Amino acid sequence: MHHTKAYSAASAASPLASNTIPRRDPTEHDVQIEILFCGICHSDLHAVRNEWSSVMPTVYPIVPGHEIVGRVAKVGSAVTKYKPGDVAAVGCLVDSDGTCPQCKAGLEQFCPHLTLTFNSPDKHLGGVTYGGYSNSIVVDERFVLRVPSNLKLAGAAPLLCAGITTYSPMRHWGVTKGKKVGVVGLGGLGHMAVKFAHAFGARVVVFTTSPNKKEDALRLGADEVVVSRDADEMKKQAGSFEFILDAVSADHDINAYMNLLGRDSNLTLVGAPANPLAVAAFGLIMGRRSLSGSNIGGLAETQEMLDFCGAHNITADVEVIPIQKVNEAYERLLKSDVKYRFSIDMASLKSQ
């Protein structure tokens, strides 16, 4: 075991603060990574504040962070895919049983025994796993991913969660050339969804509560922007969508979007607000519409997404911050004031 610097929260009401955490020494299949950048996902904030207490209660102290890129520092004796000096990435998963039907199907994100990057039981050290707001992490090589060499690392980090979470459902539901696709909420996930839907050739409509994001949405690849608080603008879109991705982090009326779907069309929820959403039966019945959810993506698909990003030169639009500004960044996330992902430069923690 060794120790590394981290930022952690001691309770749901505490700010994140500097701390030291243990990491295991690499076992034969492990890769030790010096973390260079870690994205800030709204899930980090939900977890730090224990907003998902009924589903996955937070164990304190919590070290969040699951959008990790860094450089390999050490490898175990049986590691074949990585060597010291390589750029490597880690997303939301650090372990799974590898034997269940979900794992065999390459859908490790649905494994009943999966280990999340933070706030999951840590089978090596006891306690819970600690995430990427730290200088170093040790991960089984099966859960380490490759970043295409043309991608800038600060903007590549968010691909590990915001990227795969939006890429996967759009692949699953067949977002392709010419389809009309809606993206609800232009935050970290939403702006990646716009980039992917545009790259897949879809006609992309962004729904936002922030009129000041209109120009950005068009620049990111949207064909049209609707301010969702404008009832007339919403009405014009009724029944016209083949697919809608909802990436909103807070309570909102999902029925307003169900009514925009055409026949046999789907709305996939990736946003995970703390409270249950009310769904009107008629929004589903009329038009035989469906509502589903999606959780990040498996390892193979995450690598496929990273390679797709390499081929199309796609990264997140990031505001790089030092770790010392993380609490301020959380407050800005709550105000929908992020353009469009915070990426923490971990050198700022090293030098603290």
CA distance 29 to 161: 23
Are 21 and 149 in contact by the 8 Å Cβ rule? The answer is no
Pick the binder of Zn ion from 9, 38, 40, 41 (CB under 5 A). Answer: 41
Q: Which is nearer to ligand NAP, 82 or 241 (CB)?
A: 241
Binding partner of residue 271 among Zn ion, ligand NAP, none, CB cut-off 5 to 8 Å per kind: ligand NAP
Q: Which is nearer to ligand NAP, 264 or 331 (CB)?
A: 331
CA distances from 75 to 71, 148, 229, 244 (A): 11, 20, 52, 42
DSSP summary character for residue 108: G
Q: Which is nearer to Zn ion, 96 or 166 (CB)?
A: 166
Q: Which is nearer to ligand NAP, 73 or 159 (CB)?
A: 159
Q: Candidates 113-121, 123-131, 179-187, 316-324: pick the segment binding ligand NAP (CB under 6 A).
A: 179-187
Q: Candidates 35-43, 73-81, 123-131, 275-283: pick the segment binding ligand NAP (CB under 6 A).
A: 35-43
CA distance 38 to 157: 6
Q: Which is nearer to Zn ion, 43 or 135 (CB)?
A: 43
Q: Would you say the C-alpha torsion 119, 127, 130, 33 has a positive or negative sign?
A: negative
Binding partner of residue 96 among ligand NAP, Zn ion, none, CB cut-off 5 to 8 Å per kind: none
CA distance 141 to 148: 17
Token duo for residue 21: 């955490």
CB of 67 to Zn ion, least distance (A): 6
In the region spanning residues 105 to 134, those forming contacts with ligand NAP, defined by CB under 6 A, are none
**β-strand partners of 292:** 268
Report phi then psi at 227, rounded to 5: -80, 110
DSSP summary character for residue 31: E
Q: Does 189 bind ligand NAP (CB under 6 A)?
A: yes
Q: Does 296 bind ligand NAP (CB under 6 A)?
A: yes
Are 92 and 116 in contact by the 8 Å Cβ rule? The answer is yes
Contact characters 232-251, ligand NAP, x per CB under 6 A: ---------------xxxx-
Q: Look-up: residue for tokens 């504040």?
A: 49
Q: Candidates 122-130, 182-190, 277-285, 314-322: pick the segment binding ligand NAP (CB under 6 A).
A: 182-190
CA distance 317 to 343: 9
AA identity, residue 253 = D
Q: Candidates 68-76, 113-121, 136-144, 204-212: pick the segment binding ligand NAP (CB under 6 A).
A: 204-212
In the region spanning residues 209 to 228, those forming contacts with ligand NAP, defined by CB under 6 A, are 209-210, 213
CA distance 32 to 48: 25
Q: Does 41 bind ligand NAP (CB under 6 A)?
A: yes
Q: Does 277 bind ligand NAP (CB under 6 A)?
A: no
In the region spanning residues 128 to 167, those forming contacts with Zn ion, defined by CB under 5 A, are 161
Q: Does 161 bind ligand NAP (CB under 6 A)?
A: yes
Q: Strand 341-345 to strand 318-322: parallel, antiparallel, or no bridges (unpaired)? A: parallel
What 3-state DSSP class applies to 161? coil
Contacting residues toward ligand NAP, per CB under 6 A: 41-43, 46, 161-162, 165, 185-190, 208-210, 213, 247-250, 252, 270-273, 294-296, 333, 336, 338
